[in-house]
Structure 1
């Protein structure tokens, strides 16, 4: 059964609720509940959209950045993952893949119905991964969909971490940019993602990081913003595999190659062979 809310909930309050999930200790092979939530007739806050464009580097347009509906639905993701039947602690989940499709460009003056549900789960070497499925509809027709794949780590025997493979040599063109120390806090305000690992060094250290790290969805949006002007048309698909965290502050290189219908790209550290993410924009 789908729960229907009258409006998008407050993400900051939900992150306070997320702190209460730290005591969750799933046993055995947990079964994820079939949770769904929907909000209808959602409009776009022009100030919020403008701030998001500025933080991520998107140019002004009458249409939404392909990553923006993820932000619109973010509090609904939190709403589902903080429900009592959901077995995993929210803080500590790892976003590992994302696949976005849109059938057309979404206008900033439209109103949308947003539907989020928990999809399939799978046992993997690192633990259990599951899909979080988001659909945005306009006039009753789905226009934007997203599959976010998330990992719940289960501790196991320590093994040697393989050295990451270098980015393919074909990715010859590049753009460099800086991820400043405050980008986690700036993106948190527009992305409605207040996970403490992104905000400052001290809370990030409490979760095992040497410093705070950039939001993966900021890194992805920044790549899309740099590539979209060279795409030549409104994007139809954006996919990404998140590899290694981007510690703040940091300087990175977006390496890419043009393919028949778009770009393949990788985001690399400017000072090492570390790959932060790989993806494709079509």
Structure 2
């Protein structure tokens, strides 16, 4: 049964609640609750949208950027994952994939329902992963949908060493940009994602990172903003696989190749052979 809330919760308060989940110790084969939550008749705040577009590089538009509903629904993700039946500690979860489909264009002043539900858990080499399924609905019809795949990490067997991803040789064009040291704190306010791994070096070290890292969805949105201009139209699909963390501050090269129905891309470190993410924009 879907729980209906009167309004989208305050994300900052939910992150305080998330700190209380650190003591959770999931079983070998945890069962995820079949939880679902919905808020009806929501719309984008004009000021919030303008700040988001500016920090991610989207041009001013009468339509929502393809990644913006993810930000609008972020507190609903947190709401489900901070409920008692959810088995994983929230802080330390890793966002590893994102699939977005824009079924119909969402206007900046449009009104729709936002709904989020938890998918099934799967055992993988790195630990346990699960999906968060998000939809923007109008009269029961999906205007926008997203599958965010999240990983609860567990120590991998010593023999299971993942190969370092290599940038595709066919990507011929590139655009460069920087990720400033404070982009994690700035995006946290706009993206409403206050995960400590993004905020400062010392908070990131608490979770095993040598320094703080850029939000994956900021990196993905920044790529989408650049490539949307190359695509020449509003995109209908964005698929992203997050590979290696982008430590802050950092400089990156967005390499891409144009295909018949879209653009394949990789976000690479400008100073090493690391691949931060790969994806397709159609």
TM-score class, shorter-chain normalisation, is over 0.9
- Give 2:11's aligned residue: 11
Deviates further, 23-32 or 136-145? 136-145
On the 8 A contact 1:242/1:278 being kept in 2, the answer is yes
On the 8 A contact 1:197/1:207 being kept in 2, the answer is yes
- Give 1:133's aligned residue: 133
Taking structure 1 as the reference length, what is the TM-score of the superposition? 0.98
- Give 2:62's aligned residue: 62
Say yes or no: does 1:193 pair with 2:193. yes
> In the TM superposition, what is the alpha-carbon distance from 1:159 to its structure 2 partner?
4.1
On the 8 A contact 1:96/1:151 being kept in 2, the answer is yes
- Give 2:247's aligned residue: 247
> In the TM superposition, what is the alpha-carbon distance from 1:43 to its structure 2 partner?
1.5
Matches within 5 A, 1:118-157: 118-157=118-157
On the 8 A contact 1:175/1:253 being kept in 2, the answer is yes
> In the TM superposition, what is the alpha-carbon distance from 1:139 to its structure 2 partner?
4.0
Runs (5+) with no aligned partner, structure 2:
none
- Give 1:106's aligned residue: 106
Cα deviation, 1:60-87, whole Å, max 9, x if unaligned, reads: 0000000000000000000000000000
In structure 2, C-alpha distance between the alignment counterparts of 1:27 and 1:147, rounded to whole Å: 24
Runs (5+) with no aligned partner, structure 1:
none
CA-based RMSD: 1.0
In structure 1, C-alpha distance between the alignment counterparts of 2:273 and 2:113, rounded to whole Å: 42
SS state of the match for residue 152, structure 2?
strand
In structure 2, C-alpha distance between the alignment counterparts of 1:18 and 1:78, rounded to whole Å: 8
- Give 1:83's aligned residue: 83
Aligned length in residues = 282
Matches within 5 A, 1:152-191: 152-159=152-159, 161-191=161-191
Deviates further, 154-163 or 169-178? 154-163
SS state of the match for residue 88, structure 2?
coil
